[in-house]
Amino acid sequence: MNWITKFIKPRIKSLFKKKSETSKDTLWTNCTCGNLILKEDLEINYHCCPKCGIHHKLTCKERFKLFLDNGEYEIIDSPIPPDDPISFTDSKSYKDRIKSARKVTGQEDAMMIAKGKLNGIDVTIGAQNFKFIGGAVGIASGEIFIRAISHAIENKTPLIFFPCSGGQKLQEGALALSMMAKTTLGVNELKKLNLPFIICMTNPTAGGVTASWASLGDIIVSEPGATISFAGARVIKDTVREDLPAGFQTSEYLLDHGQIDSVIERKYLNSAIGTLLSVLLKKPEAQVNNESNVTIDQSLQSAG
Ligand SMILES: [Zn+2]
């Protein structure tokens, strides 16, 4: 990258741009606040807008890299059940939707799981990629989630999960809904062995995900400004026929009303959750070479 590509904004550059170039090639990205951000700067700032602080969505691999010690992780493979179990088609066939989601994200399913270390402690970790059909949960995500539970039990590790989903897949009907029960039973197995299950809700966490495993964490934290809901605000407003309070269904609102335990900025998540695990597992604090290694008190203060 030279100074011209770094400092001349895309609008000016587009005058000189070849028609064949796609927006994917640009070094810049937009924030919903209207700020144009150099992708490199966004990455350095934990994928948070330097101007408004909005936490941009992450892919599963970006999440693992940002969260775990030294950015090191190993993906845990999980068998993927056959696609399209009820041959669903709307304006486009479900098989085609899966195919294009795989092409865009490079993932087999919206959910991915991995193992690594946090604060020197072996952990199993999972995340959802919203770019893969809105992070929706079907039988594949259900199987991957159960694989994460099995891995945590076999290796006696805590399980940390980052939900980011609109809920269950309508394209898989009742089979997707049955995953709510299956994942809940899986979490129960983890709890029987007193293995910590930590949830960090991200924007958005909604529908069947909120109504099953994502609300079952021993400790539930959230990134700032995340929408956390079961039914959407518009549906609720139309049902109760009243104006909803300011900030309804945001992580800050849910913290004030006791549904979650803390709101923590992304850059402090690994140190805060790492410290929590050290306390829960009665392990001494590891000296991790990590810029954001602050105490949980600092993290919580910063979250207000
Ligand atoms: Zn912004």
CA 302 to ligand 1 center in whole angstroms: 19
CA 265 to ligand 1 center in whole angstroms: 15
Whether 1 is in a domain gets the answer: no
CA 37 to ligand 1 center in whole angstroms: 8
Whether 216 is in a domain gets the answer: yes
Whether 29 is in a domain gets the answer: no
Q: Is 299 exposed, middle or buried (0-12, 13-18, 19+ CB in 10 A)?
A: buried
In the chain, which stretches have pLDDT less than 50? 19-22, 288-304
CA 164 to ligand 1 center in whole angstroms: 20
CB 58 within 8 A of CB 47: yes
Instruction: Show the tokens assigned to 178.
Output: 């049955």
Per-residue pLDDT, 283 = 81
CA 71 to ligand 1 center in whole angstroms: 25
Q: What's 89's DSSP letter?
A: B
- What is the extent of the structural domain holding 212? 57-302
Whether 14 is in a domain gets the answer: no
Whether 168 is in a domain gets the answer: yes
CB 54 within 8 A of CB 48: yes
* 202: number of Cβ within 10 Å: 28
Whether 120 is in a domain gets the answer: yes
Residue 144: which CATH number? Answer: 3.90.226.10
Phi, psi of 18 (to 5 degrees): -70, 145
> Which alpha helices (DSSP H) does 106-226 contain, by range?
139-155, 173-192, 207-210
Whether 51 is in a domain gets the answer: no
Q: How far is the C-alpha of 188 from the C-alpha of 181, rounded, in Å? A: 11
CA 40 to ligand 1 center in whole angstroms: 15
Per-residue pLDDT, 150 = 98
How many domains does one find in the chain?
A: 1
Per-residue pLDDT, 109 = 98
CA 50 to ligand 1 center in whole angstroms: 7
Q: How far is the C-alpha of 160 from the C-alpha of 213, rounded, in Å? A: 12
Per-residue pLDDT, 26 = 84
The structure's pTM equals 0.87
One-character DSSP codes across 195-221: --EEEEE-S-B-HHHHTTGGG--SEEE
Q: How far is the C-alpha of 108 from the C-alpha of 102, rounded, in Å? A: 6
Whether 210 is in a domain gets the answer: yes
CA 52 to ligand 1 center in whole angstroms: 4
